[in-house]
Chains A and B, each alone.
Chain A
Amino acid sequence: MNMNTVYSMNNVTAAAALVDVHAAEEGLRAVSTPGLTAENVDVYYGDTRALRDVSIDIYSKQITALIGPSGCGKTTFLRCLNRMNDVIDGCRVSGSITLDGEDIYAADVDVVELRSRIGMVFQKPNPFPKSIFENIAYGPKIHGLVEHRTDLEACVVTSLQKAGLFEEVKDRLHQPATGLSGGQQQRLCIARAIAINPDVLLMDEPCSALDPIATSRIEDLMWELKENYSIVIVTHSMQQAARVSQRTGFFHLGDLVEVNTTEKIFQNPVDPRTRDYITGRFG
């Protein structure tokens, strides 16, 4: 199965060009060190085992895409990375996940601190029912990152600029964030997440509720954010994974079947299940 058949089957030709760019970048980043490492991670919901023996390295300043059919455990895995599964009754995580060499599940780890280093953007835009300003300012405030009102204002503006939203909302910073469009809300959530300057940004299907134009804006944004953050994105869209990511992991029924450079996964997958999925035989 070669590259061309994959993309013609998915009717996306533009993405093929991008993959070449990825290949070039991959060479440059060969020295990239893993920032976030998962080893032998198992997750149980009650008696059900949702993830089996997952090991993956998330390289810093790269985009790692997690793909796979619904219910395969990719979101569960993503939520392990900032311990969002802690709040679910009966959820148990074993194995080890380390951020810069420190086990994030160690007893002395403060979840609050951890989540300030690993930000998250959700599938459905979830702005707080407050003003645009308050949405961005919330994180810096609770983490005590700013002392003066002027610093806070500067932080809000910078975050909005980084998320490419500032120009659109600069005249209505103090109006409710719920009045923004879906795409704007999602970029607001990204701005909110990067306002506390995390090392890693987790994105759980950030574009699934958005139209193609808003989606492409978010993808452009991810491309820019990659310069400063490690990004993990869960996506249902293989084209999106191919367009934005440097590395891709394929999950199936709780197993991480295969993880490799995006190029290899899409051009030359090793596992037959990966090949079947990306060629559209199932999923």
Chain B
Amino acid sequence: MRPNNKEKLRKRARAEWRFRSYGVMSLLFAGTALVFLVSTIVSSGHSAFFKTTIELEFQLDAERLGIDTPYTRENLWAGSYYTAARYALYTLFPEVTSRPNKRALSKMLSPGAELELRDYVVTQPGRIGETVTLEVPVSSDYDQLYKGHLPRTGKHTKLSAQQMEWFDWLVGEGLIHYRFNPGFLTGGDSRYPELAGIGGAITGSFYALLVCFLLSFPLGIAAALYLEEFSKDTRLTRLIEANINNLAAVPSVIFGLLGLAVILNVFDLPRGTPLVGGMVLALMTLPTIIIACRSSLRAVSPGIRQGALAMGASPVQVVFQQVLPAAMPGTLTGTIIGLAQALGETAPLLMIGMVAFIANVPATPLDSSASLPVQIYLWAESAERGFVEKTAAAIIVIMTFLILMNLLAVIIRSRTQTKVE
């Protein structure tokens, strides 16, 4: 053994240890950042899945509700439920008599209270004449106060001392409840934060992704199959290949402009709809799918092709019965990752007009609609305090979908790996 070998070995061991600790440190840093991000979003967003309600007794008096007989749908809808809802609140506070005070008190009720009362009467007209107890939503400021997002004192206070006193009394009486808010997941957007839901955006994004998948998956596979299995290696095909790879790197806003110029202006399809959004997203996703599909086709062992050919399969049979099925897991993984990317894309959707305020949940891909990322963008720039938690909650929703999609991709990949072993 040479004399300086020990020193060399020690140096090498130290270098190795150093390298490992760099790795651990960067992992720790990334992990901390992730935990910070997720915990911030969850802590500020979880309360949006809950709502504050007030328990009120409503006298369903036909005269007070202003409902004419017979109780047809039109007549029921025409009732003045706003007045009725306010009246139910006033009866809890007989001492409040002056008009300004009554007005300040009525601010406690969300416009949703009126709507829920109306829906109740319209669906159960037989109850008219009875007194019913319903839980109806309080307005956003009270909701935020109850959730502890609004300071009780200081310049950011939205409510007067009197208003808070009334509310505190109701809390003391046990009439204020904290409930799960299914409307957030199923309802459409609203000007009132306590009523705003993400259902419309989820549906819009779902339709857009569906259109995107239906367009880009078959087109992408067809293009990949042709390039990989059937085309001759010419200058033209090589040019096309290079350009497909380049397309994957084009900024998404440019695809949005293309959609605006071609799909909206030339083909005159309805603006701001999931159909058009999905078409633009498909343009973006296509290169990802083509690249994923081609590399999985290339990874299929040539032995399988030869084997099938030698069995007397035609080239098309070889491709569709042996090669494509073997390449499918990789293609699907790539597709899901492409779709997950498309789900988070905002810029192209802004360009094709999916940025309007839409309160309805779209029934078809041809209705104007919101989408998840644009909804986050819209809520994030809203002034009301109530939208802060909505924004964070919408982020939770979109992240959940992204994680689920990536999980699916991982499951598909690991399934096929065990199969091959």
Contact = CB atoms under 8 A, between A and B. Distances in A.
A114 B307 CA distance: 15
A269 to B, nearest CB: 32
B70 to A, nearest CB: 65
A112 B314 contact: yes
B312 A178 contact: no
Given A142-B321, A176-B419, A178-B419, A196 B304 contact: no
A129 interface: yes
B323 to A, nearest CB: 10
A84 B310 contact: yes
A127 B419 CA distance: 13
Interface residues of A, number: 31
Contact of A84 (B232, B309, B315, B322): B309
Q: Which of A113, A128, A196 has the most CB of B within 10 A?
A: A128
Contact of B310 (A82, A113, A129, A176): A82
A166 interface: no
B301 interface: yes
A58 interface: no
Contacts of B9: none
B419 A115 contact: no
Interface in A66-101: 82, 84, 87, 89
A192 to B, nearest CB: 7
Interface of B: 232, 301, 303-304, 306-315, 317, 321-322, 325-326, 419-421
B176 to A, nearest CB: 61
Contacts of A164: none
A119 B304 CA distance: 15
A84 B306 CA distance: 8
Contact of A129 (B232, B311, B313, B419): B419
A263 B391 CA distance: 86
B419 A138 contact: no
Interface in A139-164: 139, 142-143
A122 B304 CA distance: 10
Given A129-B419, A142-B317, A115 B309 contact: yes
Contacts of A130: 325
Contacts of B310: 82, 84, 115, 119-120, 122, 193
A124 interface: yes
Interface string A101-143: 0000000000111111001101011111110000000110011
Interface of B is mostly: helix
Contacts of B301: 126
Contacts of B314: 112
A64 B103 CA distance: 104
Contacts of B420: 129, 178
Max count, chain B CB within 10 A of own CB: residue among A119, A129, A178, A196? A129
A234 interface: no
Interface of A: 82, 84, 87, 89, 111-116, 119-120, 122, 124-130, 138-139, 142-143, 176, 178-179, 189, 192-193, 196
Given A112-B313, A142-B312, A128 B419 contact: no
A138 B311 contact: yes
B324 to A, nearest CB: 12
A113 B314 CA distance: 10
Contacts of B307: 122, 126-128, 189, 192
8 contacts: A116-B311, A122-B306, A128-B304, A128-B322, A129-B326, A138-B311, A178-B420, A192-B307
Contact of B311 (A113, A124, A193): A193
Contact of B304 (A82, A113, A129, A139): A129
Nearest to A113: B312
A122 B312 CA distance: 14
Nearest to B232: A89
Contacts of B322: 128
Contacts of B308: 128, 138
Contacts of A122: 303, 306-307, 310
B414 to A, nearest CB: 15
A142 B304 contact: no
Contacts of B304: 126, 128-129
Nearest to A189: B307
Contacts of A115: 309-312
Contacts of A127: 307
B311 A87 contact: no
Contacts of B315: 87
Contacts of B312: 111-116, 139, 142-143, 196
A213 to B, nearest CB: 23
A151 B62 CA distance: 77
Contacts of B303: 122, 124-126
A91 to B, nearest CB: 14
A142 B306 contact: no
Nearest to A192: B311
A138 B312 CA distance: 10
Contacts of A129: 304, 325-326, 419-420
Nearest to A175: B419
Contacts of A196: 311-312
B321 A138 contact: yes
Given A138-B321, A142-B321, A178-B420, A126 B311 contact: no
B150 to A, nearest CB: 61
A124 B310 CA distance: 14
A89 B230 CA distance: 12
Given A129-B304, A129-B326, A178-B420, A142 B313 contact: yes
Given A112-B313, A122-B307, 15 more contacts: A82-B310, A84-B310, A113-B312, A115-B310, A115-B312, A122-B303, A122-B306, A126-B304, A128-B308, A128-B322, A129-B420, A130-B325, A138-B321, A139-B311, A142-B311
